[in-house]
Amino acid sequence: MTGITPEALVLAFSALGAGLSIGIAAVGIGFGQGMCGMKGVEGVARQPEAKGDILQVMLVGQAVTETTGIFAFIISVVLLFANPFIKVLL
């Protein structure tokens, strides 16, 4: 562990944190959006004439599910491009 500067350590853990942030959030979102899509398909299969309404409601539901993932994405973007910890260190 010799020869590692504090900046390098902070950058390495920032990159790791960015990846883990969006990666772990994506698991939950994938599950949630899959559930949305599953129920949407079930609804259309049961009642094909309501396809338009079901699609509309399903897309809005998926977008609301996605919000937590978008927050995780913004955290990882901030960690990668505008790292706040490096500024503290310098």
Partner 1 sequence: MHSTEHLGPKVIFSFADGRFYISETVVWAIIVSAVMIILALVSTRRMEKIPKGGQIWAELIVGGIYKLVSGVMGPNKARSYFSYVGTLFIFMIICNMLGLFGFRPVTTDLNTTFALSIITFFMIMYASIKSKGIKGHIKHYVEPYPFMIPIKIIEDFSFPVSLAFRLFGNITGGAIVMALSYQGLGFLSQMLIGKIPILGKIPILAYMLPLPLNFFFDMFEPVLQAFIFTMLTMAFIGVNSAPHEDVAEGSKQDQKQIITQ
Which residues lie near partner 1 (CB under 8 A)? 56, 59-60, 63-64, 66-67, 70-71, 73-74, 77, 81-82
- 64 token code pair: 């609301």
CA distance 40 to 38: 5
Q: Which is nearer to partner 1, 9 or 71 (CB)?
A: 71
Burial state string for 71-80 with b = 16 or more CB within 10 A and e = fewer than 16: ebbeebeebe
Q: Which is nearer to partner 1, 4 or 87 (CB)?
A: 87
Q: How far is the CB of 63 from partner 1 (least distance, A)?
A: 4
